[in-house]
Structure 1
Amino acid sequence: MAQGALSRRVEGIGEGSVVGTFSKMLQLTSEAVLVFDGAGRVLLANEEAEGLFAGPAGIVGSDVRLLFPSSDGTPAAGEVAEGSLPFPLDGTADLVTCFTAAGRQLEVRVRCDRVRAPGETYLLLAIPAGRDELVGHEAERALLDLRRANHRLSGTLNIVLDTIDADDLQALFGRVLEEITETMEADGTLVYLSESDGFRLRGVSSSLLDDRLARFMPFGRSIERVAVHDGHTVRLRVKAPDNDALRQGRLTHREVVSEETHEVIRVRSALLPPFTSFMVVPVWFGGHVIAIIEVGWRRVHPLLKDDASLLDSVAHYLSVQLASAFTALRSQRADQLASLETELREELLDAATEGGDERVVSCMEDVMCTVSTELEATVAPVRPSAVSGTVVVDMPVSGPRELSLDLDALVSPHALDGVAVVPISPESDLSRMLRELGEPCVGALLDFGELSGAPRRALLLRADDAEPLGELEVEFLLDFVADVRDIARGQEAREQDKRISQALQTGMRNELQHVDGITAEAVYSSATASALVGGDFYDLVRLPGRRACVIMGDVSGKGVEAASVSAAVKTALAAYAWEGLAPARMVRSLNEFLLGFSRLETFATLFVGIVDLSEGTIRYCSAGHPPALLVGAGADEISTLDVQSGVVGAFHDIVYQDGIAHLVPGDVLLLYTDGTTEARNGDGAFFGEDGLREAAMRESAGDKPFEGFVGRLLETLEAFTGRNLEDDVAMMALRFDEVGRGEGDAPA
């Protein structure tokens, strides 16, 4: 059997089953029951006895002889013996007079006998002797049962009413737990919510706030296993430890008995609630147990089947509320951790700006302190030891300790992009090693990779009886260690990206090929000063037979990755053009190429056209790209090339189609990316296609030269936005100077 697992057996005939049977008999019998010792001191009394006999401060602890008047009025004293009480002690029935709780004398039928047990112990049973008194007694008992049932029903109704449309989760938990405790006349109630690795404590009644409670119950190794297996509320009693267990000192495990099956379950003491009698209530939702409610009493208490059924009904009603609460709590926790991650990232970025990766490393101590406070854990830095195969850990309790740990082997299965978060579960070898040293022993090992020339690792630890890190917390730590690594290395990576960008820029933007009969110019403006190149691209490729291929596009994303995809797209389109493919066929081939070449989320908008100067036409395919503008010779009109197809690189089987436009000498084709029309001014208004059309007509009209045309458009755009572009802008203009067949031209 695995260490820590539940041990179960059936309680046989013996002390345990006798106690359980006797407890049940006290609940069911209508007779008053007293147990007293050889000195006459009452040790136990059931409800019937409390209601029948009079005692100055309760019956238990008083002298049993004070309940029965002596013939001479003198109270008996000393040890109990035959003749010291007005009834025999051999089990014979007798009629005697007693003082009742109402202050009057009543004739009762009594049987009393000695019990075989260590010391002098006597059991007394009493019931009113007269028929009228017996009927009245039974009526009082029935009335008491009715009051209890009404109390349970009223409490259940209050739970329902208090939880309808509840939106404050903590208040909801507080009200429900208090209502359950009061309704069941219990000493306290706890609720645990299910998570990926066990049940976490999420609420306690006010009566238990000062108690030491198990904050986490792992699946299959705590008392919840019994309730989940049985599928309904289970009634349990913690057995008193035997002499052998007491001689061992600290009770690490206790035996718990099911009142229904008499099965004995061995459970870690730390996982038990602070009760002697308690009920464990599983809350089911969608075929899974989403919560465990524990209701209990600090002393031995009768656990009724009706009460267990009532709790099952309450759990059935609460299942929807708790499922909603579980989702909301998880969402709240995710938001808290996401907000903290953003704050820590900003702090690390500020440190990187001040002094690069070395400043980030020096800032990590403060950042780790913030993380450990949020996760209620302690940080233990880990560093290599001079001895091979060992590491030095700065322990929270005992200080620096050298441990025999192969951290590389521990980290390797969890490594992701050079960093890792390794959960430390209570059953792991590392946890056992830390536990033996008396140190906190659950949490996670954080591996930040190599920073400033040295590996950076740390343990984030919680106490042995604390809950392990949850799924959301582990995800947060993964993002955190990746942020630290990325930011620490960021300056070097940014410099490298800058050099790559410059190289890509040289081969991408400034090589519009010369084509006889076409005057071309282009301009590019990055919205980010540090990003010299991005996803906007354009090209003009000279082809045989007075033909040319014009390309304008925009790849999603920015920086080196977008630029590298742009360069690949340009290269592929140029190759397709030389093969003589029609534009739509070129784009269709490019779509399949991109879907296999780049990340799934990378796509492009694209305009590609084949200009045939001899025919005076441009055949084009516009794939999700802003429509090109054709400014007529003399700027007397402007038209739109509006045949549109879907974007490139997003989906297979998109249909692409060609459009065609006719050209005359002096016509100007204006191509642009969406950063042009989507530019905003200070009031949030878009420059838009209308703004671009007006600017193009204005800058083409009259005696304004074509040279500098796109530059003037860019100046107009920057003036409109206050030189605050939010996206990259690329524009290219082609003026068709010689259109039609020349001497020696062959038909196309």
Structure 2
Amino acid sequence: MTAAYDARRVVSRRARVAALRRRVPRETRWAVGLVLGGVVLTALVAAFPAQMPLDALMLPLLLGSLVLGPRTLPWFVIALMLLLTVSLAVQESIDARAVGSVSIQFAMGFVVLLTSFRRSRLGVANMLGESMLVDLRDRILNQGGVPSLPAGWQVETALRSAGGTPFAGDFVVATRPEGTRRLEVVVVDVSGKGEQAGTRALLLSGAFGGLLGALPPDRFLPAANAYLLQQDWEEGFATAVHLSLDLDTGAYAVRTAGHPPAVVRAAGSGRWSVLASDGPVLGLIDEAVFNASTGHLQTGDALLLYTDGMVEEPRRDIELGIDRMLGEAESLLRGDFRGAADRLVAALGARDDDSAMVVVNRR
């Protein structure tokens, strides 16, 4: 009986704790815990002034800036500043170093508040809110993944940003429209550099992904062009190359919009050739026309789609860059296309520009 009674007491205690956690928001629990931590640090500073520096209160301030939202953070910062004032008041002697330390911490608290207000306007008030942006980025970048293909086809993609971050002005979208035996791939280079190009690329990759799977191949680039014109961005143009591939016959159509041309390798001759297709840059001309270059991929043939970061160099004609890329492809991909996209980007990708590569091979 005693054991059963003790077990019921444990279960009841756990239920009360769980109910309390449900009633008290997690952010409030964080704030209370951090304030208590600040009180403990203040007591240690008062008790051991020689061993505990005044800078110790910067630790809960840093943690609070990461986990607390805009409603709680101002009160938390005020509480810490009061504790800091108490810590300074109990010092036996106040020298210039102590005053400087306190001044820096007050300035840090002010910066934390400004950052919190700015994040709250963006809807990402703390570190946990930033996970929304990370999830958005991952979901959109996953559109560049190659869907499952029938036996005999190998498609690889590689992307490297100039800044080394997952955000880039170049992106790839690949899809197999439902009810068809086609593979649709588009490689896009968004105008601009840095964060602005990266955010526009995130938006466009989602929009282009929807258009690519919903429209016939000959209507995709006109629809993408119309979409960009509607955005009315100050620097809102982009270049693109679009491949529509029949996975049964190997027939393909390539259309470009102000983009470097695709290149194809014929297994019989072993030679690479440039596909002649043309069209204006997306987002500049209304009702633009995009001409297609067509052909068939036979067994052993390969096709490359890429961005200008693979072939452009300062003060050098782009044709020379394409010749250099084809020479490197002939050397690197001789008889083995596994890891082809990554190898080409590693060998040829520009250090100061985003680079993207898609390799299609019929094995």
TM-score range, shorter chain: 0.5 to 0.7
8 Å contact kept, 2:264–2:273: yes
Alignment of 1:193-232 (within 5 A): none
Deviation at 1:528, TM superposition (A): 0.8
Partner of 2:90: none
1:594 counterpart (219, 228, 237) = 228
Q: CA RMSD in A?
A: 3.7
Kindly provide the CA deviation profile for residues 226-280 of structure 1, in whole angstroms up to 9, marking residues without a partner as x: xxxxxxxxxxxxxxxxxxxxxxxxxxxxxxxxxxxxxxxxxxxxxxxxxxxxxxx
User: Which of 326, 338, 360 does residue 693 from structure 1 map onto?
Assistant: 326
Equivalents in 2 of 1:561, 1:580: separation in Å?
Answer: 28
Give the conservation status (yes or no) of the 8 Å contact 2:189–2:307.
Answer: yes
- Cα 1:453–1:564 change in 2 (3 A) is closer
Which of 448, 453, 458 lines up with 2:113 in the alignment? 453
Aligned pair partner of 1:632 in 254, 266, 274: 266
What residue number does 1:665 align with? Answer: 299
Gap change, CA 1:653 and 1:713, over 3 Å in 2: same
Alignment of 1:123-134 (within 5 A): none
Match of 2:358 among 732, 735, 746: 732
Structure-1 residue corresponding to 2:92:
none
- Alignment correspondent of 1:570: 205
Which TM-score applies when normalising by structure 2? 0.58
Residue of structure 1 in register with 2:244 after alignment: 610
User: 2: CA distance between counterparts of 1:494 and 1:560?
Assistant: 19
The secondary structure found in structure 1 opposite 2:254 is: strand
Matched residues in 2 for 1:593 and 1:694: separation?
37
Structure 2 stretches lacking a partner, 5+ long: 1-57, 62-109
Aligned residues: 246
Change (3 A) 1:664 1:454: closer
Matches within 5 A, 1:306-705: 452-453=112-113, 500=133, 503-509=136-142, 511-516=145-150, 517-529=152-164, 531-543=165-177, 544-559=179-194, 561-583=196-218, 585-597=219-231, 599-633=233-267, 636-679=270-313, 688-701=321-334, 704-705=335-336
Which residue number corresponds to residue 713 of structure 1? 344
Shift in Å at residue 663 of structure 1?
A: 1.8
Deviation at residue 730 of structure 1 after TM alignment: 0.8
Residues 58-207 of structure 1 mapped to structure 2, 5 A cutoff: none
CA distance in structure 2 between the partners assigned to 1:499 and 1:684 by the alignment: 42
Change (3 A) 1:706 1:500: same
Letter in 1 for 2:224: L
- Do the aligned residues in 2 keep the contact of 1:630 with 1:640 (CA within 8 Å)? yes
1:654 Cα offset (Å): 2.5
Q: Deviations over 1:419-461 (max 9, x none)?
A: xxxxxxxxxxxxxxxxxxxxxxxxxxxxxxx955379xxxxxx
Which one-letter code corresponds to 1:660 in the other structure? T
Letter in 2 for 1:631: R
SS for the counterpart of 2:176 is strand
How far the C-alpha of 1:610 sits from its partner, in A, is 1.3
For 1:653, the aligned partner's letter is: E
1:622 positional shift: 0.5
Are residues 602 and 547 of structure 1, via their aligned partners in 2, closer, same or farther at CA, if it must alter by over 3 Å? Answer: same
AA matched with 1:717: L
Q: Give the C-alpha shift of residue 627 in structure 1.
A: 0.5
Q: Describe the shift of the 1:555–1:636 C-alpha distance in structure 2 as closer, same or farther (beyond 3 A).
A: same
Answer 1 or 2: which has greater strand percent. Answer: 1
Q: 2 CA distance for matches of 1:498 and 1:556?
A: 27
- With over 3 angstroms needed to count, the CA separation of the structure-2 counterparts of 1:561 and 1:693, relative to structure 1, is same
Residue 561 (structure 1) shift: 4.4
**CA 1:609–1:685: 2 relative to 1, 3 Å:** closer
Q: Residues 145-196 of structure 1: CA distance to partner in whole angstroms, max 9, x if unpaired?
A: xxxxxxxxxxxxxxxxxxxxxxxxxxxxxxxxxxxxxxxxxxxxxxxxxxxx
Which structure is larger by alpha-carbon Rg, 1 or 2?
1
Q: How far 1:533 sits from its partner (Å)?
A: 1.2
**1:560 Cα shift?**
5.0
SS at match of 1:599: coil
Residues 92-122 of structure 1: per-residue CA shift (max 9 Å, x gap) = xxxxxxxxxxxxxxxxxxxxxxxxxxxxxxx
> What secondary structure is seen at the aligned counterpart in 2 of 1:625?
coil
Aligned equivalents of 1:493, 1:689: Cα separation in 2:
46
CA contact (8 A) 1:552 1:606 kept: yes
- Aligned counterparts of 1:613 and 1:600: Cα–Cα separation in 2: 39
CA displacement at 1:618 relative to structure 2: 0.9
> SS at 1:520's partner residue?
strand
SS at match of 1:453: helix
Q: Distance in 2 between matches of 1:551 and 1:625?
A: 11
Question: What amino acid sits opposite 2:210 in the alignment?
Answer: A
Q: Hey, what's the Cα distance between the residues in 2 that align with 1:650 and 1:514?
A: 35
Would you say the 8 A contact 1:501–1:559 is kept in 2? Answer: no
- Relative distance call for 1:613 and 1:452 in structure 2 (3 A) is closer
Superposed CA deviations along residues 358-409 of structure 1, whole A, max 9, x for unmatched, are 9xxxxxxxxxxxxxxxxxxxxxxxxxxxxxxxxxxxxxxxxxxxxxxxxxxx
User: Does the residue aligned with 2:291 lie in a helix, a strand or coil?
Assistant: coil
In structure 2, what is the Cα distance between the partners aligned to 1:629 and 1:497? 40
**Kept in 1: contact 2:169–2:189 (CA 8 A):** yes
Does the aligned pair in 1 maintain the 2:172–2:188 contact within 8 Å?
yes
Q: Deviation at 1:557?
A: 2.6
Structure 1 unaligned regions, length at least 5: 1-354, 359-449, 456-484, 738-748
SS of 1:644's equivalent in the other structure is coil
Partner residue, 2:26: none
In the TM superposition, what is the alpha-carbon distance from 1:677 to its structure 2 partner? 0.7
Distance in 2 (CA, whole Å) between partners of 1:630 and 1:497 is: 42
Is the 1:604–1:649 Cα contact (8 Å) retained in structure 2? yes
TM (normalized to structure 1)? Answer: 0.30
Read off the aligned partner of 2:157 and give its amino acid letter.
Answer: A
For 1:601 and 1:716, how far apart are their aligned partners in 2?
30
Whole-angstrom distance in 2 between the partners of 1:694 and 1:727: 21
User: Is contact 1:498–1:532 with CA below 8 Å preserved after alignment?
Assistant: no
Check conservation: 2:228, 2:282, Cα contact below 8 A. Answer: yes
Cα shift at 1:526 = 1.3
Q: State how far apart, in whole Å, the 1-side matches of 2:186 and 2:193 are.
A: 19
1:600–1:650 Cα contact (<8 Å) kept: no
Compared CA separation, residues 454 and 601, structure 1 to 2 (3 A): closer
